[in-house]
Amino acid sequence: GAVVSQHPSRVICKSGTSVKIECRSLDFQATTMFWYRQFPKQSLMLMATSNEGSKATYEQGVEKDKFLINHASLTLSTLTVTSAHPEDSSFYICSASVSLNTEAFFGQGTRLTVV
Amino acid sequence: GENVEQHPSTLSVQEGDSAVIKCTYSDSASNYFPWYKQELGKGPQLIIDIRSNVGEKKDQRIAVTLNKTAKHFSLHITETQPEDSAVYFCAASSNSGGYQKVTFGIGTKLQVIP
């Protein structure tokens, strides 16, 4: 299958700082990228959907000013957690798909710990 | 919106036995149903998928069935091995606002006992 690379895999940051997570599709062009959040022993919760070149669409309850998403190219999307707080600590996962009705491939995930 | 229910939440089987995980969905517009395997600390990996125009699909020890009328689909793993131990997620996908939206089940923790 296609490869989606997510970086970093783990990050620890201080409360109040911002952290950026990158999601890259390595061998295909991703028209659409998705960002998920996963709490321990729970399912993936969709945070937002980003289409290349346009603004991200956020799910209800997700603060767009706190979780900034940029999808500047067909191979890269970034999620920036601004002014991070301990409650933002979670496992963040991206996925990417070529187009509608095609499977989404997941990155390895990023374990964010805010101290 | 779509609602996907998955059960059981945990499943223990003896090595060599079969494991079955079942999911139901609510949105009749969903047309793509992937299954993911997630190992601890890693992102989900697609293991098999099925589209709404197909009733069954098999890939070696893994098979998926889909009943569109009843809106349920199932994952079957035969001859289970310890390395099959992981959390499995079902998902239902549909086109929403011009893009594909995937809704996940809550996951099933499968333990294969050697």
Regions of chain A where pLDDT drops below 70: 1, 100-101
Note the pLDDT tens digit of each residue in A36-67. Answer: 999 887 888 989 988 887 888 898 899 999 99
The pLDDT of residue A113 = 96
Return the closest-CA partner of residue B38 out of A48, A41, A12: A41
How far, in Å, CA of B111 to CA of B86, rounded?
7
Is the per-residue pLDDT at B95 higher than 60? Answer: yes
Asked whether the beta carbons of B27 and B72 are under 8 A apart, the reply is no
The pLDDT of residue A40 = 82
Asked whether the beta carbons of A97 and A32 are under 8 A apart, the reply is yes
The three state secondary structure string of chain B is CCCEEEECCEEEEECCCCEEEEEEECCCCCCEEEEEEECCCCCCEEEEEEECCCCEEEECCEEEEEECCCCEEEEEECCCCHHHCEEEEEEEEEEECCEEEEEECCCEEEEEEC
The pLDDT of residue B93 = 87
Asked whether the beta carbons of B97 and B14 are under 8 A apart, the reply is no
Is the per-residue pLDDT at B98 higher than 70? Answer: no
The pLDDT of residue A101 = 59
How far, in Å, CA of B39 to CA of B55, rounded?
28
Interface A-B: count of C-beta contacts within 8 A: 58
Stretch 50-89 of chain B: residues touching chain A, C-beta under 8 Å: 89
The pLDDT of residue B97 = 64
| CB-closest option in B45, B49, B99 to A106 | B45
The pLDDT of residue A50 = 87
Quote the strand ranges of A1-115, DSSP E: 4-7, 10-13, 19-25, 32-38, 44-51, 57-58, 67-73, 76-81, 90-97, 105-106, 110-114
Residue of B nearest to A104 (CA): B46
Residue numbers in B near A44 (CB within 8 A):
44, 89, 104
Averaged pLDDT, B65-92: 96
Share of chain B above pLDDT 90, in %: 75
How far, in Å, CA of B36 to CA of B44, rounded?
6
Is the per-residue pLDDT at B65 higher than 60? Answer: yes
How far, in Å, CA of A5 to CA of B27, rounded?
31
Which runs of consecutive H residues, i.e. helices, occur in A63-110?
A: none
